[in-house]
A and B are shown apart, each in its own frame.
Chain A
Amino acid sequence: MQSHFELFGLEPGFALDRAALDRAYREIQGRIHPDRFAHAGDAERRASMQWTTRVNEAYRVLQNPLERARHLLELNGVDVALETNTAMPTEFLERQMTLREALEAASEGRDADALDALRAELGAERTRVEAQLAERIDAARDFVGAAGMVRELKFLERLDAEIASAYDSIEA
């Protein structure tokens, strides 16, 4: 099966030409989207839905740094083992603990400003890990070494989801 990168005519890599991705996505969707086949027969409507589904999925994966890295590792035969491998560098875990404590405090204090600050901090942390990933994957081509960073990114994504639900409970 074609990789998500090939589908859009892109060179596989962590660094992403977002404009080229968007152009290719829209160009393809413009031709195969179900809205182009609303009056067609069942066979074409089905084929259009299946293709669009596939294109949407590929687009989703490539847009998301975590999913994109995971896909690249998979293409290179490396399993990220998100569920099974939970070993993390101590330094990273310590920073996580601090962030988590801050989240709890903000949540209990129903402090939306503190959540905003936390989110900004998390954003910076993600940017840092993503820069490392780009270096590992694109320059060093060390896919095994990149797996640990993908797991770190997953950690940060979970924390982001928790921040979102903290906002929800504050606003409820």
Chain B
Amino acid sequence: MALLQISEPGLSTAPHEHRLAVGIDLGTTNSLVATVRHGVAVTLPDERGRVLLPSVVRYRRDGGCEVGYAAQVSQATDPKNTIVSVKRFMGRGQRDIAHIENAPYDFVDAPGMVQLRTVAGVKSPVEVSAEILKTLRARAEASLGGELSGAVVTVPAYFDDAQRQATKDAATLAGLNVLRLLNEPTAAAIAYGLENAAEGVYAVFDLGGGTFDISILRLSRGVFEVLATNGDAALGGDDFDHRVFCWVLEAAGLSLLEPRDARLLYSKAREAKETLTAHGEAPLTARLSSGELVDLTLQSETFCRITHTLVQKTLGPTRKALRDAGLTVADVNGVVMVGGATRMPEIQRVVADFFRCDPLNNLDPDKVVALGAAMQANVLAGNKPQGEDWLLLDVIPLSLGIETMGGLVERIIPRNTTIPAARAQEFTTFKDGQTAMSIHVVQGERELVADCRSLAKFELRGIPPMTAGAARIRVTFQVDADGLLAVSAREATTGVEASVSVKPSYGLADRDIERMLRDSVEHAKDDMHARALQEATVEARRLLAAVDAALAADGTLLEDAERAEIDRSRVALAAAMESGDHRAIKRASEALNRTTEPFAARRMDVSVKRALAGQKIANFDA
């Protein structure tokens, strides 16, 4: 075996390299990828110069698939296998999806998340989304000329835990290292705020293809602070298309349609809606498969009338967000418009009326989210020197709680709490001698469990038998910086501890992800082992670089014995990497992580102390 090289303690091994990081806007209608190049955020085009990738995936009989424009052309001819607006199905059961009867797919109702039967087999919305992400990843890697170090993937702010988890799973499946899930309006605020050096309170009004978000942020030098967010995870441009579609059916006297005709009319409805952005009326013509001709004209007034309730639906969440932020319309300095659907003149008018000011439209509403995500990815990758970066403080959109007796919800973390956040609450047993307790985690604002979203159910077993009400079961909710929840519970009165952590049940189990990875890898005739090895190696390199940097910065915090132990783990990991065995590398990485835990905790303590010390000096100077 070749001798391993070890650098002198306290010396950083390499100068900081620029890491390739991207921001991805995984949209209902279109998706984009952007990066920061020479200090400027840019969207990356495909080989034909197009930056938008239609969020459409078509599965073929041979098991392969087409993504984007190539898939979009098959919408009308192969509707069952051409999946559009898959974002609406992420983390959703069949019953949760509005207008599901109009979607031309063969749905399979699976526990937690609906699935779709295609010629290439049953596909989860996570797999479909992963195809879109893979395409964007390949585009970025070709354009940047190297493997991506990480990606920030955006989600609607009002996405619940199930939808966030599904999105993260899709990114993992696409082979992306997710640096952060970032809320879409927050991403837009970053892009807008930096571009315009904006300070003060801003509202971001984000009406996309399938989702609506309203976020209220305070922007001050170097800090983006989300004060409140609200929205509707099932309201977007698609719903306006649907209204036009229904109007067409009525006006043309059509009923039962073939899937391909429905798809065709949907496309025509969308075109008519887009035409109305700049014109007073829009022609709408289509030849159905029966030969029948639909020939209509949609007037702008008619469009406003049939979509009036949709437009009004954006105002309720807007009022709530302002109220939760403790502000009124007068406190808002500006309203940033995001999402293609905000191009509709009626939306512009209603927003201007509500906020009593002209909305800000100076950034491309289709690109602003991806650009903001790219800027954040650049910061998270560590490409920006300290002092030039910024602090982002975001919140959870919906309250988290658990079910108590009588089907009532006990709220544990209220909505608009700044993340990361943790809260614990004690519960007790209902019956004498009760040794197990079922814990049902829910998300939402309603009092009754039945009206909230069920996230996970798990059982805490091994509670020592006691009289009713004597046990003390402490349930802890931890929400991380991605807005994802982990729940644990333990009984503490007797010193007997039982604890369990859950990954919410609708998401994919790790083994599902492994299976999907295997399937996709086999399909590409790639070597499963090679991929596992590569991933473990990349992860190990990342870890070693991080530990080296930490040692270089704060190595003096360690006792000699501790330092020696960490050095042993580092050497062991380096040796494992030489071995070419991905399991050994994983084990050695985990061991190094464990060894560095006390060091990491101490570094944070010291950081807090330094922060306060810096404060005192600053105050003294002033």
Contact = CB atoms under 8 A, between A and B. Distances in A.
Contacts of A39: 19, 149-150, 179, 380-382, 542, 545-546
B466 interface: no
B420 A56 contact: yes
Contacts of B616: 9
Given A39-B150, A43-B599, A23 B615 contact: yes
A18 to B, nearest CB: 13
Given A35-B391, A39-B19, A47 B601 contact: yes
B391 A26 contact: yes
Given A24-B612, A27-B615, A171-B316, A49 B480 contact: yes
A88 interface: no
A38 B377 CA distance: 9
A168 B179 contact: no
A162 interface: no
B392 interface: yes
Interface string A32-58: 111100111111101111111101110
A144 interface: no
Contact of B615 (A24, A41, A55): A24
Contacts of A168: 320
A47 B379 contact: no
A49 B601 CA distance: 10
Contacts of A145: none
A91 to B, nearest CB: 28
Given A43-B599, A171-B316, A51 B546 contact: no
B593 A41 contact: yes
A8 B481 contact: no
A172 interface: yes
B521 to A, nearest CB: 25
Interface in B545-595: 545-547, 550, 592-594
Interface string A144-172: 00000000000000000000100110011
A129 B369 CA distance: 44
A56 B546 contact: no
B550 A40 contact: yes
Contact of A34 (B222, B480, B593): B480
B608 A41 contact: no
Given A24-B612, A30-B391, A167-B319, A41 B421 contact: no
B422 A57 contact: yes
A43 B608 contact: no
Interface residues of B, number: 55
B615 A9 contact: yes
B180 A38 contact: yes
A107 interface: no
A34 B603 contact: no
A48 B417 CA distance: 18
Interface in B385-416: 391-393
B596 interface: yes
Interface in A50-88: 50-53, 55-57, 59-60
Contact of A46 (B380, B545, B599, B600): B600
Contacts of A8: 612
A55 B601 CA distance: 14
Contact of B316 (A9, A41, A172): A172
A29 B547 contact: no
B612 A34 contact: no
A146 B421 CA distance: 29
Contact of A53 (B420, B601, B610): B420
Given A39-B380, A171-B319, A30 B546 contact: no
B87 to A, nearest CB: 24
Nearest to A30: B391
A44 B548 CA distance: 12
Contacts of A49: 420, 478, 480-481
Contacts of A56: 417-421
Interface string B464-483: 00000000000000101100
B51 interface: no
Contacts of B542: 39, 41
A31 interface: yes
Given A46-B600, A53-B422, A60-B418, A41 B179 contact: no
B262 to A, nearest CB: 32
Given A53-B420, A57-B421, 6 more contacts: A23-B615, A40-B546, A41-B542, A43-B596, A44-B596, A47-B604
10 shortest interchain CB distances as A-B pairs: A38-B380, A34-B481, A47-B600, A31-B607, A43-B600, A44-B600, A27-B611, A40-B546, A28-B611, A42-B593
